[in-house]
Every structure is written in C-alpha cells, then in structure tokens.
Amino acid sequence: MIKAKILVVLITLSILWGSSFLAIKMVIDVIPPLLSFGIRFTISGAVVLLAVVIFEKDNNKFTNLSKRQWREALILGALIILGGQGLLVWGAQYLSSGMTALLNSTIPLWVAIMASLIFKQNLSKITILGLILGFAGLIILINPFTGNNNISYIGIISLTLSSIFWAAGSLFSSKLKSSVNIFAPAGMLMLVGGIMLIIASLAVGEFNNLHLFKVSANVLAAFSYLIFICTAVGYIEFFWLLRVESASVANSFAYIVPVIAVFLGWVILNEKISLQTIIATSIIIVAVILMVKSSSNLSNNKIRKKTNNGFSN
C-alpha cells in the first residue's frame, strides 16, 4: 500500500512541477526571476503556516517551535529555496523551459553521489541500475535539443549548481527528526526561503526592472498556479516523500518532470515529439519504478515512523 501511495505522490508531484516550467517562463518574462520566486515562496509559506494555525487541533506544536527548528528551516531555505530554486529561475532566463527541466533532472544523480561520498550510504544494485537507466533516458531525451547552437553556458552552470544545492538540502532534510506536523516545517522552509530570495532580488537591483503594467491576466493565472498549487501542494508532497523514503527516491520525480515538460510543450506549444522522446519516456518510467521498488530499508523505515515527518526538536 505504501509503495502504491509513493508512486501516486511521485506522479502527481511530477505533473505539478513538470507543468510549472511553462508557468515559470510566462511569469519571469514579466516579473524579474528572483523577485517572482521570492513572492511565490513567501506567499505559499505564509498560506501553509496560516492553515496550520487554523486547522491544526494541537496548536501548541506550532507555537512551541524551537530556535533549533527555525535554524534548520534557515539552512534548508538557503539550500533548497535560495540555492536550488533561486539558481533554477535565474538560469531559466537563458534556457527554454524544456532544457531547464532536463538540466534540473540531474538532481537524483547528485543525491546518489553525495549520499555515497559524504554520508557513506550504500546504494543497492537495483537503485544503481535505476539511476543509470534514468541518466540514459535523459541523454536520449536531450537529443531533440542538439540542433540548438544558442545554449547559454550561464544557464547550464546555474541549473547545475541549482541541482547540487537542492540535492544537499534534500539529504540534510532527510536526516532531521521531529514530531512536528509536516505542514509546519514545509511552511517554514518556504517562508524563510522566499524572504531570502526577495533580499537577493533587492541586492541585485531587480526592482528597477519591475513593470507592473505588463502583468496580464494570463500571467496572474500562471503565477497563482505556481503559488497555490505547484508550491503549496507540491512542497508538502515532497516533504512527505523525504520522510517516508530515501532522498534518492524522493527526488526521482526529477526524471519524470522533463517528460511532462516536453509533453506539455507538444500539447500547448505544438512542439514535435520525436521517437527519442518516446523511448526516453519509457526508460525513465522504468528507472523510477526500479528505484521505488528497491528503496525499502526496514531500519530506516522504523526510524522515519518514529520521527513522524518534520524538523528536529
């Protein structure tokens, strides 16, 4: 049952974040990138925390959050939001939505490398096979872009660093323990990270490039979708995955995201889907299933059940 639930969450998360790349492109064409993401995460975090205050029966869990928990939120906000998402949206200025999604898909590889080298985690043979297949699928998927000679190295470097920061934050988060409801830490992460992005936006002078009169109804709709669906719902799902599974499996959504992005490009932008894309899609789906099936670790699951989703006390 838990495996089926994990697959469902991975699929829904992949759809949300795969579709987000089109919305991101629409928004940053009008609102400066760091500022747009700062607003996005600040509002999402505030909404989630407000929901915790309103609907959580035991509000003492929220009001008694310790300095350590806020410190951990600060670290995660710096890694996942400021570094991971900030560099992603910065690089997205220079790349297509499909290429952005593809480069973002290297996250599981960085997670596996860091888990093995830094945390000395042993990867099962099936997990390694899943990673290799996923990477092979991405190489095949990149083929439709080989005719593009205008790829920006700034964008590529930004997206690569973004994936590294995100992977580090994922591994750090998976090591934390707490009895706090998962909604509170997710909201804290987004709120703190969003404020960091707004400060970064101020530092680089993005406010000088803000032209509110260019914000159309379509842009507002895309921005609302990013804030309330892709972010508020998506990050809660991602935090749940980090608490019930390994960081490698939790981040395997990144293999499916470019498939969704390319498919939506075909549906919405009338882009052609090549044979390579179909083959890559099949390989990537198999890779994710292998990683999910191979992820069970009884000792880790016992620890995660005891810690019940959240930051340290």
Dihedral of CA 196/202/204/210: which sign? positive
Residue 110 has pLDDT above 90, yes or no: no
Q: What are the tokens at 213? A: 């009169």
First to last CA, the chain: 30
Cβ(200)–Cβ(44) below 8 Å: no
The per-residue pLDDT of the chain, averaged, comes to: 80
Half-sphere exposure of 84 (CA within 13 A, CB side): 27
Least confident span in 50-59, 102-111, 303-312: 303-312
Local confidence band at 258 (pLDDT 50, 70, 90 cut-offs): confident
The whole-angstrom separation of Cα 93 and Cα 155 is 7
- The number of residues making up the chain comes to 313
Q: Which of 59-73, 94-108, 110-124, 229-243 has the highest mean pLDDT?
A: 229-243
Reported as a single tens digit per residue, the pLDDT across 91-106 is 988 887 777 877 787 7
The 10 Å CB-count burial string (b at 16+, else e) for 260-278 is: bbbbbbeeeeebeeeebbe
Look at phi and psi of residue 308 and say left if phi exceeds 0, alpha if psi is from -120 to 50, else beta. Answer: left
User: Structural domain boundaries of the chain?
Assistant: 2-307
The predicted model gives 240-248 an average pLDDT of: 82
Specify whether the backbone of 205 is left (phi greater than 0), alpha (psi in -120 to 50) or beta: left
User: Residue 309 pLDDT more than 50?
Assistant: no
Report pLDDT for 164.
93
Residue whose entry in the numeric block shows the structure tokens 């992820």 = 295
